[in-house]
Amino acid sequence: MKILVVEDDKGILDFLRSGLKAEGFVIDTAENGKDGMSMSHLNNYDLIILDLNLPDKNGNIICQELREDGKTMPILILTVDTEVDSKVRALNSGADDYLTKPFSFKELLARIRALLRRPQEIKDEILTIDNLTLDQNKQTVTRAGKEIYLTPKEFRLLEHLMRHQGEVVSKISILENVWDSEVDLFSNSVETHILNLRKKIDKNNSKRLIKTISSRGYKIG
């Protein structure tokens, strides 16, 4: 899952980045509304965490503009404002939830997971191709009943491929959905992770599931 955090307080931003990365999320960050809007149009996010009181643009306006632009991902507002009217304005602007500062990271995480479980955003938790199974809820991968250890990045890469079974997935698509925005587009990181993934899931199996489509990307199935 890929999350954009738009927050001008560097301390909170760093706290959220490290905490959410530790929970397995891919995190992009922006310190102002202009950059946040730009990134939300350039990348596909599963959720946005948005500070209400940004220096250049109010979070309610950003939220409203995102909805007017057709963006449907859940938006979680963070703010020091505890007034009921402020919460009402944020929700009426298109936000899905509202959390006041200071906040418990445990509560934030629970709210994020609740938003990602909402019906319009539900994705299959168990993916199966041939005798390979990925369980999103348990964060496990098995092939022919044998559990395979994957790093968090390998797990997200495999999940992205499996959710596009039978399709050619480009390197750009992988970078946009599995890596954060700081990745070097010219590195061979994707190729290296694909190689490691192949070694792990195809080991002791006659059928190779991940195929390289020359000059186009990768396909699983």
| 73-129 residue pLDDT tens | 899 999 888 888 888 888 888 899 999 888 999 999 999 988 887 654 445 678 999
CATH node for 2-121: 3.40.50.2300
Whether pLDDT at 26 is above 60: yes
28-56: b (≥16 Cβ within 10 Å) or e: bbbbbbebbbebbeebebbbbbbbbebee
CA atoms within 13 A on the CB side of 221: 13
**Residue 186 banded pLDDT, cuts 50, 70, 90:** low
Residue 29: what pLDDT?
93
Q: What are the sequence ranges of the domains in the chain?
A: 2-121, 126-220
**Residue 181 banded pLDDT, cuts 50, 70, 90:** low
Point out which residues pair with 141 in neighbouring strands: 134, 148
The architecture CATH gives domain 126-220: Orthogonal Bundle (1.10)
Q: What are the tokens at 197?
A: 């993934």
In terms of average pLDDT, the best of 38-42, 121-125, 185-189, 204-208 is: 38-42
CA distance 181 to 189: 14
| 126-178 residue pLDDT tens | 899 999 999 987 889 999 889 999 988 899 899 999 988 888 998 888 887 78
